[in-house]
Amino acid sequence: MDCQDGANSAGAALSVRGLGKRFGDRVAFEDVSFEVGAGEVFGFLGPNGAGKTTIVRTLGTLIKPTCGSACVAGILLTPENEEQIRRHISVMPESPGLYLRLSVAENLGFFADLYDVPDPRDRINRALRAVRLTDRADSACGTLSKGLRQRVALARALLADPEVLFLDEPTAGLDPAATRDVHKLIDDLRKRGVTIFLTTHRLEEAERLCDRVAILNTTLRTIGRPDELREQLFAKTLAVRTLAPLQDPGRLFAGLAAVDGWHRDGPAGYILAVSEPALAAPAVTRALVSAGADVLSIREPHHSLEDVYLELIEEDEEASLA
Amino acid sequence: MRASLGISAGRVRAVLRKELREYRRNGNIVSAMTIIPSIFLIQPMIQVFAVPSSASAALRHEDSLLYLLAIPAIVPALVAAYAVVGEREQGTLEPVLTTPVRRDEFLMGKALASLLPSTAVAYFVYSVFLACVALFANPSVASALLRWPEILAQVLFTPMIAGWSIWISLAISARSADIRVAQQLSMLASLPTVAVTSLIAFNVIRPTLMLALAAAALLLVLDAAAWRVVSALFNRERLIAGAT
């Protein structure tokens, strides 16, 4: 039952090797491999239809993979092990999926019974406290706002004390205050050592919450820490802005060993390709001052995770057009 | 606590309890469970109170009360047809299916939640009818109608017919993509059972002890087999992703 078959690493909370799923001729995702360490918050990004939800459903034992192998919570994903896996995970789907005629406590009580949790009343109270909904325990779920329903769904996911928690777009459609609450809850879960697999469209959310992210567009495009991905994808540069255009920028920058190349960025702006921005900046400043230029700013441009994401997705779109 | 077949009685109870709570708070289900049986009560009532005492001898050779067995054929079909497709449409099926609940447990809980109230309603309607006959009908008509073999048949066949109707409806519900289609198909599927009980009630088929025993044995076997068949039809992937 353990993941000791050589294809998947023992010890990882999630380990996926060459996983793929087809629905007839349609490829939902293919050749996906990654590992998620215990206690890690792992972000899964991708455009609509990229296969994010299908991967969550596959790892959550709802859908059978067409090929590849996976270990979930240290258990090999096979039809025989599905029930065992479900005892160690929780999945919060994009839609909260609550019984609207039942109260919050009744919804949670039902799921506590399905998970066979010991002392369900205590577990429900703890889950409600974690999402700060104790005072709404007796409210019918149909009377709650979308943000509160999302919190109930999160409380439901916490009931079983899961080793791995799958959150599929947990902040989709929420207002900023409700989004902040969900982020805080995810932070709290991280502190408790829960492994979180988070799919999201919100890149700033992934950047803020995730230790590592993967970008999926049917196949896995890249994986790593957000800062690693920025470094992989974007050359290191310095953005220079002067009061007036330089007289002979080509000669000025060519004479600097720290600068590998340059191009204009507006009438009095220059982007310099450098290998070490921190070392290059003082040399560039000295050269500009000695050339008599009035320097307005020299800075290292910041590339967000959104830039990484858009760069990769645009590459894919260009490749598909070609 | 685990019963036979590795089924957790606790999880079956959890599904049952949740379903009954939802029924109580759903006006449509409460209406369906009260109005439909009441309609079935009207015709026999009129017939019984319109019959003159001189016709009571003829009533002794008829089994018109078996007509009421249509109630356990129709009422649970309506409720069970909603059971799976309804959860799918309101988005509650996916969270449930990611818990350790087995499909056998889920389906058994759903089946019991349809069986218990519909059987109770059918017994209640039948009891009301018998009470009215005993209290208000012409004594000779009452003595012609109140026959123990027929009462026993009603009591025994009610849950068995309801069970068959429920499994057929659950099978339809597990394979349908739309609640209305599931309910219409379930109603259609319950018609053969209604037809058989009606043919017996109207004396087209003469009930005998052997026929009753054979029918009971057949229904028991069908109910047990239907559970396994419906369980096999219950495909998580198809229900969640809409594909096989």
Q: In what order do the strands lie in the sheet with A89-92?
A: A89-92, A164-168, A195-200, A41-45, A212-217, A219-224
B10 in contact with A at a CB cutoff of 8 Å?
yes
Contact A284, A238 (CB under 8 A): yes
Residue A101 to residue B237, Cβ atoms within 8 A? no
- CATH fold for the domain made of A235-299: Alpha-Beta Plaits (3.30.70)
Mean pLDDT by 10 residues, chain B (244 residues): 69 97 90 86 79 69 75 91 93 96 95 95 90 84 80 90 94 92 90 85 79 89 90 91 65
Q: With a cut of 60, say whether residue A92 has pLDDT above it.
A: yes
Averaged confidence pLDDT in chain A = 89
Residue of chain B nearest A51, judged by CA positions: B241
Rounded to an integer, what distance in angstroms lies between the CA atom of residue A61 and that of residue A79? 8
Domain of B149, in residue numbers? 4-241
Per-residue confidence (pLDDT) for residue B138, from 0 to 100: 81
Contact B87, B96 (CB under 8 A): yes
**B80 in helix, strand or coil?**
helix
- Mean pLDDT check: name the lowest of A4-8, A268-272, B27-31, B169-173: A4-8
Domain spans of chain A?
14-225, 235-299
Per-residue confidence (pLDDT) for residue B23, from 0 to 100: 93
Q: What is the mean pLDDT of residues A260-280?
A: 89
Contact B85, B177 (CB under 8 A): yes
Please give the single-letter amino acid code of residue B48.
V
Q: With a cut of 60, say whether residue A7 has pLDDT above it.
A: no
Residue B91 to residue A153, Cβ atoms within 8 A? no
pLDDT digits (tens, 9 = 90+) for A113-172: 999 999 999 999 999 998 889 999 999 999 999 889 999 999 999 999 999 999 998 988
By Cβ distance, the residue of B26, B98, B237 closest to A91 is: B98
* CATH (residue range A14-225): 3.40.50.300
Number of folded domains in chain B? 1
How is residue B64 written in tokens?
């018109």
By Cβ distance, the residue of A86, A95, A106 closest to B21 is: A106
Q: With a cut of 90, say whether residue A11 has pLDDT above it.
A: no
Q: What is the mean pLDDT of residues A106-112?
A: 97
Q: What is the mean pLDDT of residues A261-270?
A: 91
Rounded to a whole number of angstroms, the distance from the CA of A283 to the nearest CA of chain B is 59
**What is the ipTM for the molecules in this complex?**
0.87
Residue B98 to residue A24, Cβ atoms within 8 A? no
